[in-house]
Structure 1
């Protein structure tokens, strides 16, 4: 595994002891990208994901809708659908608070806005897919390191939803973070409940953990 760009040292961030300040700093980095840079990054991300052997046999993959400067998985999805891949979006569980299930996502899917202002498919009981039934999950993230650490938006939804992967690793889907390469740091502050990633894919490289 080659590292194409030197990660920004964690010590250079505004507050080394505060995940919230680190999160703000990294969000500003990705928000500073121009539309042209975002488009180029999404296309390069698609090429790197399509080249991943771990995804060649995956048929049920969870994704996300980009906002806040996140890298866009749609170019990858357009190619992967031709391979017969089915995509799913996270939906806030109406009963188990703080957890998610996954509903089918197609271009014509009807989306509604959840309480966080994020579009999601309708909660169809018969169509939803539990976390353990996915082949892979493309997770959004704010920051990552090469030990599998992931810094999210702070809600803990993915960590709670995939906590079972620590106890039943064989049942766990491949957890693959996708991000801009500039979101890499040399070391993240890790909490006991953080679920580690199997890999991170950016517009520049595939970092296998």
Structure 2
């Protein structure tokens, strides 16, 4: 199964990295339209998003649109003392940014800007691939699996929503025992729900 999952990761990452600039721009605009129509975004105040990398669907226009709606945006930061875990920091245009060990931009760690994950309303997760059962295949580090574990156990706290390009959908994700489907995945053309 590990080999199958790695093969899917490579195949789908290659697919999304082949999207040209115009296609990426259109997809990002359509994502904003999809999300702003959803009650989950309309009723949420504290929303965790991520800064796109490696061909991921560009979240910058969505962040800007949510700021215009006076929503508070939080960005994941690698936990400095608990490997494999995330912290969420308040993100503003003036936030000082640094690169983490994966070369991904994140807000400079400042304890005053941390929000506990359970106080977030939504956690928008990146993903590499997904299927029509809302199974999510991430990069393999388990950061979001660990972050979302309390929600999956109790249904209380921040609701997870996956964001992806349409081309990231595949027929079926080979699942492991720890894999839990997301309740919703939003693409530029469709909202997938369990």
Gapped runs of 5+ residues in structure 1?
Answer: 1-14
Alignment partners' CA distance in 2, 1:131 and 1:118: 20
Equivalent position SS for 2:26:
helix
- In the other structure, the counterpart of 1:25 is 11
Match of 1:115 in 2: 101
Higher helix proportion (structure 1 or 2): 2
For the pair 1:85 / 2:71, whether they are aligned, the reply is yes
Among candidates 174, 178, 183, match of residue 189 of structure 1:
174
SS in 2 for 1:18: helix
Question: Does the residue aligned with 1:188 lie in a helix, a strand or coil?
Answer: coil
Q: Aligned ranges for residues 3-152 of structure 1 at < 5 Å?
A: 18-152=4-138
Secondary structure in 1 matching 2:188:
coil
- Structure 2: any 5+ residue segments left out of the alignment? none
Deviation >6 Å, runs of 4+: none
TM-score by length of structure 1 reads: 0.88
Q: Distance in 1 between matches of 2:127 and 2:152?
A: 19
Distance across 1 between alignment mates of 2:10 and 2:3: 13
User: What root-mean-square deviation, in Å, do the aligned CA atoms of Structure 1 and Structure 2 show?
Assistant: 1.5
**1:103 Cα deviation (Å)?**
0.3
1:161 to 142, 147, 163: 147
* Separation in structure 2 between the aligned mates of residue 18 and residue 79 of structure 1, nearest angstrom: 37
